[in-house]
Amino acid sequence: MGRYNKLKLIVSCMVLAVGALFLMPSESHAMPNFARKYGADCSLCHTVVPRLNRFGYEFRAAGYRDPGEIGEQDTEDFKLSNYFAGRIQEQYQYNNHNAASSGTDTTSSQLTFKEFTMYPLTGSWGKYFGSLSEISMAPDESPEIENAYFRMVYPLGENWIQGRVGIMHSFEGFGASDRPIGNNRTLFQTTTATGSPFKIWSKDESGVEVGFYSPKMGTTISANVWNGINSAGDAASGGSLTKDSTEPAYNDKDFQVFVNQFITDNAALSFYYYYGVVPFPATGTQTKDKYQRFAFYGNFYPIKEKLNLIGGYEFGKDSLNNSTVVTGGSNVGDNNGFFAGAEYFVSEKNAFAVRYDNFDPSDEVGHNTVNAINLSYNISATHGLQFITDYQHKETDLTAGGTNKDDTVLARVIFIW
């Protein structure tokens, strides 16, 4: 992709996004069922959607209720609209791939429907309960259950304990460990290391969680037991997504700990630990690969409510970093990655973000690092309408030599109601 074309592409996307800013009224709702129930603006829970503020973080941790309402009977009449939301996402993706081996460029320009998502049975129930269901459907694909869990919260003085059962996202973060301003998560969350096909994010596993939250101290601790993933890297969450009973690790369980500590109302440090067992390699003679992943996140605002700095570091270790154990094991080693970025909040409804990502899938393999720079613009428009545009330049080093380069623009329009 020529430098001129790349610049033209970035400028075009930014002009479109800024144009949207001036065309759209300045109201929006994030999970509109909660906004409806509480008569609230989206800013009650979010900085720029989907990023949560501290109230939104506590609201979620309290089972989708105002934390002060834990233990109080909900006296309002049941309204379906308070427990149901739907989301539609359409996207335009442009990609230019420069292959190091041939030096040629291949381009892709696609306007596609990403998914339709329903959130039935989502809200608080009774004095102590809550639930979230998130079912996504892409064209001609089976519905995917991203979240379907039941939560119980119980007050302990000013604090509360909570438990969840079902299918759920990996963890509930804040700041740098929360969802990004743009469409793309950092590489170390979404890229597999050499070895286990596990990814820190995008595997919605089935499991059980127990947790504790202290609003006064700003401390969250949660621990999970997961059913784990199969050799293909899919979460063995049930239905057709199962582990093969003939493979090793069929009955093994995975474990996770997540800790979040607020430093101020808008800054936090997070720690993530995962221990899993998976058959390796995916085919042929298999053995168990016991792997661990550690991640640290942090954010802070040097300029109040305007500039947020984010960063994260990940380290991973697989038991099969020994070439004598199994075929393919020679490439397995320790993996690590990091990201650093800045987010500028123009207003409570729109923000720019820039982030640098790095990930080394195995230290046993030379010249295989992935680097990416991401530019994002996110604007919430009226009535749950949102535009998120990313430009990413990614360079993937090849063990054979050379570097593949990808330039991608992903512009997504999201309507949630």
The answer for residues whose C-beta is within 8 angstroms of residue 167's C-beta and 6 or more apart is: 145, 146, 147, 148, 149, 204, 205, 206, 235, 237, 238
Closest distance of CB 177 from other proteins, Å: 20
Please count the residues of this chain forming the interface with other proteins, following the rule CB under 8 A.
24
Please, are residues 408 and 376 in contact by the beta-carbon 8 Å criterion?
Answer: no
Mark the segment that binds other proteins (CB under 8 A) among 40-48, 166-174, 359-367, 401-409. 40-48
Tally of helices (H runs) and strands (E runs) in the chain: 4, 17
DSSP string, 355-377: EEEEEES-TTSSS--EEEEEEEE
Binding mask 213-242 toward other proteins (x if CB under 8 A, else -) reads --x---------------------------
Please, are residues 374 and 353 in contact by the beta-carbon 8 Å criterion?
Answer: yes
19 near other proteins (CB under 8 A): no
The only residue of 14, 40, 121, 309 in contact with other proteins, by rule CB under 8 A: 40
Q: CA torsion sign, 275 to 278 to 280 to 282?
A: negative
Q: Which two tokens stand for residue 275?
A: 């221990």
Report 156-215 residues binding other proteins (CB under 8 A): 215
Taking the least distance from each CB to other proteins, the nearer of 105 and 265 is 265
123 near other proteins (CB under 8 A): no
Binding mask 102-121 toward other proteins (x if CB under 8 A, else -) reads --------------x-----
> How many Cα atoms sit within 13 Å of 328 on the Cβ side?
16
∠ CA 228-231-318 to the nearest 5 degrees?
75
| CA gap 218, 269 in Å, rounded | 10
43 near other proteins (CB under 8 A): yes
Taking the least distance from each CB to other proteins, the nearer of 38 and 356 is 38
265 near other proteins (CB under 8 A): yes
301 near other proteins (CB under 8 A): no
Closest distance of CB 39 from other proteins, Å: 6
Closest distance of CB 178 from other proteins, Å: 18
The answer for residues whose C-beta is within 8 angstroms of residue 163's C-beta and 6 or more apart is: 151, 152, 208, 209, 210, 211
Closest distance of CB 126 from other proteins, Å: 20
The only residue of 1, 14, 16, 27 in contact with other proteins, by rule CB under 8 A: 27
DSSP string, 21-39: HHHS-S---SSHHHHHHHT
Taking the least distance from each CB to other proteins, the nearer of 57 and 391 is 57
Closest distance of CB 88 from other proteins, Å: 8
Closest distance of CB 84 from other proteins, Å: 11
Taking the least distance from each CB to other proteins, the nearer of 292 and 382 is 382
25 near other proteins (CB under 8 A): yes
Please, are residues 164 and 150 in contact by the beta-carbon 8 Å criterion?
Answer: yes
| CA gap 145, 168 in Å, rounded | 9
The only residue of 1, 16, 44, 99 in contact with other proteins, by rule CB under 8 A: 44
Report 334-393 residues binding other proteins (CB under 8 A): 382-385
Point out which residues pair with 314 in neighbouring strands.
Answer: 295, 337
138 near other proteins (CB under 8 A): no
Q: Which of 207, 369, 375, 191 is nearest to 293 (CA)?
A: 191
139 near other proteins (CB under 8 A): no
Binding positions for other proteins, rule: CB under 8 A: 25, 27, 35-36, 38-41, 43-44, 53-55, 66, 68, 86, 116, 215, 265, 382-385, 417
